[in-house]
Amino acid sequence: MTRVTRGAVGLREVAGHAGVSVKTVSNVVNDYVHVSPATRARVQRAIDELHYRPNLSARSLRRGRSGLIALAVPEIDFPYFAELANHVVRAAEAHGWTVLIDQTDGQARREDLVLGGIRNHLIDGVIFSPLAAGPKQLQERTDRVPMVLLGERTTGGTIDHVGIDNVEAAKEAVLHLAAAGRTRIAAIGTQRPRASGTSRLRARGYRAGLRAAGLDYDDSIVMTAKSYHRAEGRSAMAELLDRAEPPDAVFCFNDLLAVGALRAARERGIDVPGDVAVVGFDDIEECTYSSPTLSSLRPDKARIAHLAVELLAGRLADGSGPAQDVVAPHELVVRESSGPVHDHGRTRGGALSRR
Amino acid sequence: MTRVTRGAVGLREVAGHAGVSVKTVSNVVNDYVHVSPATRARVQRAIDELHYRPNLSARSLRRGRSGLIALAVPEIDFPYFAELANHVVRAAEAHGWTVLIDQTDGQARREDLVLGGIRNHLIDGVIFSPLAAGPKQLQERTDRVPMVLLGERTTGGTIDHVGIDNVEAAKEAVLHLAAAGRTRIAAIGTQRPRASGTSRLRARGYRAGLRAAGLDYDDSIVMTAKSYHRAEGRSAMAELLDRAEPPDAVFCFNDLLAVGALRAARERGIDVPGDVAVVGFDDIEECTYSSPTLSSLRPDKARIAHLAVELLAGRLADGSGPAQDVVAPHELVVRESSGPVHDHGRTRGGALSRR
DNA sequence: TTGAAAGCGCTAACAC
DNA sequence: GTGTTAGCGCTTTCAA
C-alpha cells in the first residue's frame, strides 16, 4: 500500500517542512528539554503553518495511555450525577484527563458492559456508580482497567471505593426530625429487598435513627420508590398524606423524591414544615431554591470526585496494593422544610391544611 | 525491541490459541460474513477464554474513526445541558458512538481549544454550544473535525447548526404575558452588548413581543445577568421587586433565572402569579415541581440532540455539501407561575403580599 | 475461506 | 542535540 495521508498532516510532514527529523518534532510537541531554542522555534513555526495536531489515537496506542477516563452513572441528567460529573471533570483536568460519560440507566446489561471493559485500552480508568450490579458481578470482572466504585461499599471488595457513611447520614436526618418534635416519621425511597446500592443503607440508617430516638418503626409509612425521580416522590407522598393518619415528617432518600413530596403537599394545601417536615438527601442546588427550601444531607461531592480521581491516579502510577475504601464527609443542612415553624407559617398552615 | 505484550492479550494471542491467523480473528470480531461456523466458534471460544477485548486505540488509528464524539458545553450541571447531554448520549448510541464531555465554563480560552481541535483524531465529531466564541472564531477554525453548533445561529456560517427560533419563542412568552393582562413586563437575562449566544436573540424577541402587544419598552426593568444561574435570577428579581414600581410580570431568559426569581418573590411574600407572573425558558424538569410550577418555553431537546447527531453522521458519511441550518420546534408551556389567578391563591397572596 | 504482510501516526530505545 | 528505526494492535489489500 502506498502512503495515503488521508489529508491529515503528521509528524513526518512537519519534519519535512522544518527540515528536521520526526523525533525532533516529537520532542517539541512533547516539550522535551533537549531541543535548541532555534530548532524549537523553527519546528513550532512549521506546526503552526501546517496546523499540525497530534493524532491522539496513535499516541494512545503507542503510550498505552489515552488520557481518557470514563464516568459511568445511571443518568447524567440526575442533578446529583450532573453535579458530581462537573466535579469529576474538574478533578480530572488537573491530571490532563478527559472524561467520557457512560450512561447505564441502571440497567444490569449496560453495567455489565462497563464491568466487561467495553472501552478497553481506550480509557485509562473508570469511576463507576453501580445500581444493578451486585458484589458478585463486581468481583468477577475480567477487565484490568483501574476502577473506583461510588455509592455503596461492596463489603470486602477488591475494588477501590469512595463514599459517605450513608447509614450514619440517614440516622442524623431522622434524629434531626425527632429532635424537632416529630414523632411519626415516614420514609420514601426503599427498594426491593435485594436491591444493591445506597437505598438499603439509608433504610438501615432510618431504622437506627428511629430506634435511637425511641420511636417505633411502622412499616406502613415506609414507601418504596421504583426510581429516584421526582414523580415517584410525589406519588409516594400523595399516598402518605391521603391516609387517615398521615406522618408529621418524611425522610426522602434523595432530593428528587423530596421535591416531588413537596409538590404533593402543596397540591393538598398541606404546609411544610407546619404540618409535615421534609428532609432530602444529596443537597442538590435545587434545595436552596425550592419553596420551601429543602433540608438535605450534603455529601461532599467535590471531595468524592477528587478522591475518586486521585485513587485512579494512584492505581495508574502503581497498580498494586490492597483495595482502598475512603469515606468522604457529609453534613446535614437544615432549611425551611424541617426548620422551626414560624407563626405566620403556622397560621397559614392551619388555615389551609387538611382541606 | 523485543515483543512486549504489556500483559494485554491481542489478536495475535487469540489467533495462536485458536490455531488461525490474525485476519480470521479480526473477521470474527468484526462480524464479517465469510467465516465458517466451525472456525467462528473456535475463535469465539479462544476470545472468551483469554478475555480478549479489542484495543480501541489501535482500531481507531487504523480505521481513522474512533466512535467518539465530543459534546462541548459550558457546564454539564446546568440542568438544560444535563438534559441535553442525556439526549445526545442516547442519540449517539444509535450510531454506536460514545460521548465525551468537554466542559468549557464558557471561557474563551477553553472554547478556543475546542475550535482548535484539541482532541484531533480522537473524536469523530463535536457538538458545540459556544458562549464566548463569536462568528469570527468559529469561521477561522483550522480543525477538520465535523462540528455542529448549538444555540445562536452564526449568520452566514459555514458550520452546521441546530437551534430553535429564539426570537420567536421569546416573543411568544411576552405575548402570553400580555394576553393575561400584564402590562409591565420585565426581563431578566440580557448580557453585555456584544455577547454572543442566545441572550441577544431572546432580548430581541422580548422587544418584539412588547411591540406586538402595544407595550412600551422600559429599559429600567430589563435586568442583565452575568451568568444564568439561580443566584443571578434571585438578585435581579429582588432588585425589581424592591422598586417603587415593580413589574407585574417577568420573562426570564432561562429557567434557573426564573427559579431564582420565584425565590426572591417568596422571600418577600409576593404572590406568583397573583402579584407578578413569571415565565422561564428551557423547560427543565424542575419547572414541573417548583412552587408555583413554572411556565416555560420548551425547546424540543430530544429533537435538537437527534438532529445534531444526525448532522454529524451525515458529515461523516459525506463531508461535502453546504452548511445546514436546522430549526427545531419549541412550545410554550403554561403553568401556575403565569396561569390564571385562582381565588384561594389571590386570598393567600393578598394576605401575605407586600408585608 | 483464510493467511501474509504493510502500515495507520506516534514514541522511545539507541546511535551518532 | 538530533536522526534512525522498531513496533504499539489493529484493519485491509492481495495472494493463495
Residues of A in contact with B344 (CB under 8 A): 352
Q: Scan for cell 477501590, then name that residue.
A: A160
What percent of chain B clears pLDDT 90, i.e. is strictly above it? Answer: 67
Alpha carbon distance A201, A151 (integer Å) = 10
A111-126 burial by CB neighbour count: b if 16+ within 10 A, else e?
A: beebbebbbbbbbbbb
Residue of A nearest to B66 (CA): A57
Instruction: Say yes or no for a CB contact (<8 Å) between B7 and A348.
Output: no
Computed over every residue of chain B, the mean pLDDT equals 90
Distance A48 CA to C16 C1' (A): 30
* Alpha-helix runs per DSSP H in chain A: 11-18, 22-29, 37-50, 56-63, 79-93, 108-115, 135-139, 166-179, 198-213, 230-241, 255-267, 301-317, 343-352
Is the confidence at residue B355, as pLDDT, over 60?
no
Report which DSSP code applies to A148: E
Whether the upstream peptide bond of residue A37 has omega within 30° of 0, thus cis, is: no
* Residue B64, phi-psi category: left (phi > 0), alpha (psi -120 to 50), beta (remainder): left
Q: Render B93-124 in DSSP notation, one character per residue.
A: HTTT-EEEEEE-TT-HHHHHHHHTTTTTTT-S
Q: Which is more confidently placed, A320 or B295?
A: B295
pLDDT given for residue B352 in this prediction: 37
Residue of A nearest to B97 (CA): A102
* Most confident stretch, A33-42, B49-58, B177-186: B177-186
Alpha carbon distance A233, A255 (integer Å) = 9
pLDDT given for residue A155 in this prediction: 63
List of B residues 18-57 with CB within 7 A of strand D: 22-23, 26-27, 29-30, 52, 54-55
List of A residues 29-58 with CB within 7 A of strand D: 34-36, 38-39, 58
* Residue A241, phi-psi category: left (phi > 0), alpha (psi -120 to 50), beta (remainder): alpha
Structure confidence at residue B353 as a pLDDT band (50, 70, 90): very low
Tens-place pLDDT, residues A313-345: 999 987 778 999 999 999 999 999 998 886 544
Whether the upstream peptide bond of residue A273 has omega within 30° of 0, thus cis, is: yes
Alpha carbon distance A217, B33 (integer Å) = 62
AA identity, residue B137 = Q
Instruction: Say yes or no for a CB contact (<8 Å) between A99 and B99.
Output: no
Report which DSSP code applies to A69: E
Tens-place pLDDT, residues B5-31: 445 788 888 998 898 989 899 999 988
Q: Is the dihedral of CA A200, A86, B117, B323 positive or negative?
A: positive
The shortest C-alpha distance from B336 to chain A (Å) reads 12
Tell if B183 CB is < 7 Å from nucleic strand C: no
Alpha carbon distance B154, B325 (integer Å) = 10
Alpha carbon distance A252, A295 (integer Å) = 10
Q: How many angstroms from the chain centroid is the CA of residue A316?
A: 22
Instruction: Say yes or no for a CB contact (<8 Å) between A234 and B289.
Output: yes
Distance B69 CA to D12 C1' (A): 25
Tell if A353 CB is < 7 Å from nucleic strand C: no
Tens-place pLDDT, residues B98-140: 999 899 998 999 999 899 887 778 999 999 999 988 888 888 8
Alpha carbon distance B350, B337 (integer Å) = 16
Residues of B in contact with A238 (CB under 8 A): none
Task: Give the start-end residues of each E strand in chain B.
Answer: 68-73, 98-103, 125-128, 147-150, 160-163, 185-190, 222-224, 249-252, 277-281, 295-299, 325-327, 330-333
Task: Kindly state the helix (H) or strand (E) to which residue B259 belongs, with its residue range.
Answer: helix B255-267
Could you give the angle at which helices A79-93 and A255-267 cross, rounded to 10 degrees? 150
Alpha carbon distance A5, A170 (integer Å) = 60
Instruction: Say yes or no for a CB contact (<8 Å) between A58 and B121.
Output: yes
pLDDT given for residue B158 in this prediction: 83
Q: Give backbone dihedrals phi and psi of A10, rounded to 5 degrees, phi first.
A: -115, -175
Nucleotide nearest to B59 (CA to C1'): D10
Structure confidence at residue B317 as a pLDDT band (50, 70, 90): confident
CB-CB contact of A111 with A133 (8 Å): yes
How far is the first Cα of chain B from the last one, in angstroms, to the nearest whole number? 82
Pick the residue of B6, B14, B51, B77 with the most A CBs within 10 A to test the interface with A by mutation: B77
pLDDT given for residue B201 in this prediction: 94
Alpha carbon distance B45, B49 (integer Å) = 6
Distance A116 CA to D5 C1' (A): 37
CB-CB contact of A87 with A114 (8 Å): no
What percent of chain B clears pLDDT 70, i.e. is strictly above it? Answer: 93
CB-CB contact of A68 with A100 (8 Å): yes
Question: pTM for the whole thing?
Answer: 0.92
pLDDT given for residue B156 in this prediction: 66
Beginning with the edge strand found earlier in the chain, give each strand of the sheet holding A185-190 in spatial order: A222-224, A185-190, A249-252, A277-281, A295-299, A330-333
Q: Render A79-132 in DSSP notation, one character per residue.
A: HHHHHHHHHHHHHHHTTT-EEEEEE-TT-HHHHHHHHTTTTTTT-SEEEE--SS
pLDDT given for residue B319 in this prediction: 72
Average pLDDT over residues B268-287: 97
Segments of chain A with pLDDT less than 70: 1-7, 155-156, 194-196, 342-355
Tell if A62 CB is < 7 Å from nucleic strand C: yes
Average pLDDT over residues B76-93: 96
Half-sphere exposure of A197 (CA within 13 A, CB side): 22
Q: Which of A310-319, B72-81, B192-201, B249-258 has the lowest mean pLDDT?
A: B192-201
Average pLDDT over residues B243-258: 97
Q: Is the dihedral of CA B67, B72, B75, B80 positive or negative?
A: negative
Q: Which nucleotides of D are covered by protein (CB under 7 A)?
A: 1-13
Is the confidence at residue B349, as pLDDT, over 50?
no
Q: How many angstroms from the chain centroid is the CA of residue A38?
A: 49
CB-CB contact of B166 with B205 (8 Å): yes
Nucleotide nearest to A22 (CA to C1'): D3
Q: Which nucleotides of C are covered by protein (CB under 7 A)?
A: 1-13
Q: Which three cell numbers stand for residue A174?
A: 431522622
Alpha carbon distance A67, A17 (integer Å) = 29
Distance B45 CA to C2 C1' (A): 18
Q: How far is CA A248 from CA A35, A237, A241, A354, B250, in A?
A: 73, 12, 9, 13, 36
pLDDT given for residue A176 in this prediction: 98
Alpha carbon distance B289, B298 (integer Å) = 15
Distance A23 CA to C15 C1' (A): 13
Choose among B64, B83, B89: nearest Cβ to A101: B89
Instruction: Say yes or no for a CB contact (<8 Å) between A286 and B286.
Output: yes
Q: Which three cell numbers stand for residue B135?
A: 462568528
A279-317 burial by CB neighbour count: b if 16+ within 10 A, else e?
A: bbbbbbbbbbbbbbbbbbbbbbbbbbbbbbbbbbbebbe
